[in-house]
Amino acid sequence: MASTAGGHARICLGCWDQMKMPIPIRGPLAIPFRAFGITRSKMNPNICTICERSFRRIKGKQHITATATILFADIRGYTHLSDRIDPAVLGEIVSTFQDQCAQSIWAHDGIVNKQMGDGLMAIFNFPIRIERHAAAAIGAAIDIQRRCAEVLERLGSSSGELPDKAIGVGVGIHSGEVEIGEFSSFRSDFTAIGGTVNLTSRLESQAAAGEILVSAEVAAAAPDLVGDAVSRSFTLKGIDQPVSAYALRTHA
């Protein structure tokens, strides 16, 4: 494991963990690579664009099955908000949210795989290997809640246009098998799909502002971080059986 836990790696941690290949991404050795378009990835600045775009070449197939932890986060009440406030303020809220989430995810060696308006999906344990990936995702989620609470509340009150309640973030986390690879012939950045990803997304949609909902699988893998949180049962769209999850509250 090459992880520097969010520090500045000199070689791509993904290429190292996946192929034991040292690709320079910082310092003078990185310059010739940059000339060939091999630079730091937008998904995580400690991995390179080979990881991001050359999945098929690295893995020798279009997709692989892997165990990972998936994290979804979004701004609660965003749809309601988006019709009421100045688009410039909305843009600032979305940018701030995305930046704070990315910093939190990178600090725990996860990657920001997808951004979609006020939402995002992060992957932990690929391409950077993380022994305790469920714990890493919870750590990132706690950071997301702390950072966003500070910054979004300030933004909300300074804009003067927002409803009296602060803007809050909901997070959902689940671990399991996912299918990782390229799932269209015209885009070359990898993503993760499958039941685990969908369950995480559905779980996140149930999280209240300030809440982190983690599945029973995540709680079992990181009992020290879940503490005495009480399990609740959720009925999720498209999923037959009720799903039990633990709500970690990070601020009131």
Instruction: Of 84, 97, 91, 70, give the one whose Cα is nearest residue 151.
Output: 97
181 touches a second copy by CB under 8 A? yes
Q: Which amino acid is at 13?
A: L
Cα 175 to chain centroid distance, Å, stands at: 13
Min dist. Cβ of residue 88 to a second copy (A): 8
Stretch that binds a second copy, among 96-104, 136-144, 150-158, 212-220 (CB under 8 A): 96-104
Cα 15 to Cα 12: distance, rounded to the nearest angstrom: 6
Q: Tell which one of 107, 129, 179, 251 touches a second copy (CB under 8 A).
A: 179
Min dist. Cβ of residue 122 to a second copy (A): 13
239 touches a second copy by CB under 8 A? yes
Number of helices (H) and strands (E), helices first, in the chain? 10, 8
CB 175 within 8 Å of CB 215: yes
Q: How many Å from the N-terminal Cα to the C-terminal Cα in the chain?
A: 37
- Under 8 Å CB-to-CB from 192, ≥6 apart: which residues? 68, 70, 113, 121, 123, 126, 178, 179, 180
62 touches a second copy by CB under 8 A? yes
242 touches a second copy by CB under 8 A? no
Nearer to a second copy, 102 or 248 (CB): 102
Min dist. Cβ of residue 173 to a second copy (A): 17
Cα 252 to Cα 250: distance, rounded to the nearest angstrom: 7
Angstrom CA distances, 98 to 3, 27, 67, 189, 234, stand at: 23, 27, 25, 19, 27
Q: Tell which one of 7, 22, 27, 91 touches a second copy (CB under 8 A).
A: 91
Q: Tell which one of 4, 67, 79, 158 touches a second copy (CB under 8 A).
A: 79
Stretch that binds a second copy, among 24-32, 129-137, 139-147, 180-188 (CB under 8 A): 180-188
Q: Tell which one of 118, 143, 204, 211 touches a second copy (CB under 8 A).
A: 118
Q: Tell which one of 57, 60, 160, 184 touches a second copy (CB under 8 A).
A: 184
187 touches a second copy by CB under 8 A? yes
115 touches a second copy by CB under 8 A? yes
What are the residues facing 178 on neighbouring strands? 66
CB 85 within 8 Å of CB 159: yes
Nearer to a second copy, 140 or 225 (CB): 140
174 touches a second copy by CB under 8 A? no
CB 217 within 8 Å of CB 230: no
Q: Which amino acid is at 183?
A: F
Q: Which amino acid is at 115?
A: Q
Would you tell me which residues interact with a second copy (CB under 8 A)?
37, 42, 45, 62-63, 65, 77-80, 82-83, 87-88, 90-91, 94-95, 98-99, 102, 114-118, 121, 177, 179, 181-188, 191, 193-195, 197-199, 202, 237-240
